[in-house]
Amino acid sequence: MKSDKIVLDTNCLIAILSRKGRYFSVWQGLHEGKFILCVSNEILHEYEEILSAKTNAVIASNVVQVMLNSPFVEFVDTYFHFHLREQDKDDNKFVDCAIAANAQYIVSEDSHFKVLELIPFPKVNVLRLASFARMLMGCNWTDNANLLNEPLAEYNTGK
C-alpha cells in the first residue's frame, strides 16, 4: 500500500495523534510509510491553527514540523480550485488537494463530504477513519469498496 495517497481532514489528524487513542496506528502507519499523506499550504495552516487551539502552539508546531520532514508526506500545490463543497467552503482545500495529488481518498469524519458521492467528475472518494485504519491493518484497498458507503458522522473541529 506504500504508494497510496490520502488527504487527512483535520478532525482525523486530531484523532490519530494520541498514543492512547483508538487510531494512533494511523499516525504510526504514516511514519512507517504505509501511505503517503498529501498536504497543501492551506491544510498545514489549518492543522497548526486547530492543533494550537486544542493543545498548544508548541505541540502544533512540532506536529507540522514532523510532517514537513517526513518522506511520506507529499506537499501539493493546488493551482485550481474546484469549489465542490458548498456547505463548508473552507473544506474545499482538502478536495482540491486530493484532486491535485490524485489521492485515492480523503479520510474524514465530516458528513458534509458525503456530497462528493453525487459528483461524477472529478471523482473524490471519502473514507471514515475507522475504515482507513482497517485498511492499514491489512485489508485490500480494492476489495473494500463497501467501506466508501459507511455513514460519515458530524464532527466539529471548533473552527
CA distance 147 to 136: 13
Give the CA distances from residue 106 to residues 13, 30, 56, 116, 146, in Å, rounded to whole numbers and listed in that order. Answer: 12, 15, 26, 10, 15
The tens digit of pLDDT for each residue in 103-159 reads 999 999 887 767 667 666 667 788 999 999 998 888 554 444 444 444 444 333 444
Q: State the alpha helices, DSSP H only, in 32-110.
A: 41-54, 57-69, 92-101
Residue the block writes with cell 472529478: 122
The tens digit of pLDDT for each residue in 68-82 reads 999 999 999 887 665
Total-model pTM? 0.79
